[in-house]
Amino acid sequence: MINDFKLELIDAYINKELNSKQKIAFYELLKTDSDFKMLFMQEFELHKQLKQLKTQIDDATKARVLQNIYRQNRSQAEVVNAVKNYFINWSLRMAVPSPILPYINNNILRRCLQ
Amino acid sequence: MDFTELYDIYADTVYSYIRFRIKDKYLAEDIFQDTFLSVYQKATELKKVRSVKAWLLKIAHNKMVDRLRKNKDELLSDHPAGKETSCMHGQDQLIDGIFINELLNQLDETSREIIYGIYAEQLSCKDMAEILGLPEGTVKSRSYYARARLREWLKEAKDND
């Protein structure tokens, strides 16, 4: 019967989580306990094989997804600002004759509207 | 850690975890994007998490479960061993990958996910419990039996060679 402690010890060794003292104890156990040695060999093989199942995302998809996330997350303030600016510009175009429009100070009008 | 940095470090881990279960590449990418979108929106929670990897995979897991409710056929991937940009190289490793994949397919879905987390992602039972939303004791016992079965099958396969 294999106990949890032995499995956890093997995982810790394979995942490089043991300190020097623990490593010495681990090697000692490998030498003296043949069942532990067998268990270690099998587990080592499983770790090696299952790591190969990992896949990687291709660079183009990775970059595209990141751009999509940023696009979808434009802050609400940005959206409100865009709507506000659109409304101001539209009001200006409606209220002021077009030849004068470039001379109007946008900021002053914006403050008036707010 | 800012979002871009987090994304750079963990994109492969999250994608690989999703691809392990989802056979449709485009659906997997969709879930991947959904996952990181949630991560972006929950960025303030990041300071409180015990393990970043477990937290990310938990979000990915929940997104997959949501999709499972909508369309079960798209899930339960026969893992694309040797396809895409798998980390495997060479014929022997490809055969090993297919073999291990066959073994994994004999386990139930939850056990398979636990096994993937423990071996491929080096996660603890505590992490896997957090990801799957199961009690740690349940994950421990399931991993214990699943690992024992894998070792047994591996031994049988070696003996038959």
ipTM, 2 dp? 0.77
| pLDDT (average), residues B21-27 | 88
Chain A residue numbers with beta carbons less than 8 Å from the beta carbon of B151 are 39, 42-43, 46
Residues B51 and B1 in one domain: yes
Residues B6 and B72 in one domain: yes
Q: Give chain B's domain count.
A: 2
Residues B47 and B17 in one domain: yes
What residues make up the domain containing B45?
1-77
A positions 50-109 inside 8 Å of B (CB): 50-58, 61-62, 65-66, 68-69, 72-73
Residue B82 located in a structural domain: no
Residue B84 located in a structural domain: no
Give the integer Cα–Cα distance in Å for A84 and A87.
5
Backbone region of residue A54 per phi and psi (left: phi > 0; alpha: psi in -120 to 50; beta: other values):
beta
Give the integer Cα–Cα distance in Å for B64 and B76.
10
Q: What is the pLDDT of residues B89-126, one digit of tens each?
A: 444 554 455 677 778 888 998 999 999 999 999 999 99
Of A75, A7, A52, residue with least CA distance to B92: A52
Residues B66 and B96 in one domain: no
Q: What is the pLDDT of residues A18-29, one digit of tens each?
A: 999 999 999 999
Instruction: Indicate the residue type of B160.
Output: N
Give the integer Cα–Cα distance in Å for B159 and B156.
5
Chain A residue numbers with beta carbons less than 8 Å from the beta carbon of B19 are 55
Give the best residue of B147, B155, B161 to mutate against chain A (max A CB count within 10 A).
B147
Closest chain B residue to A12, measured at CA: B122
HSE-up of residue B90 (Cα within 13 Å, Cβ side): 4
Residue B121 located in a structural domain: yes
Strand-pairing partners, residue A55, are B86
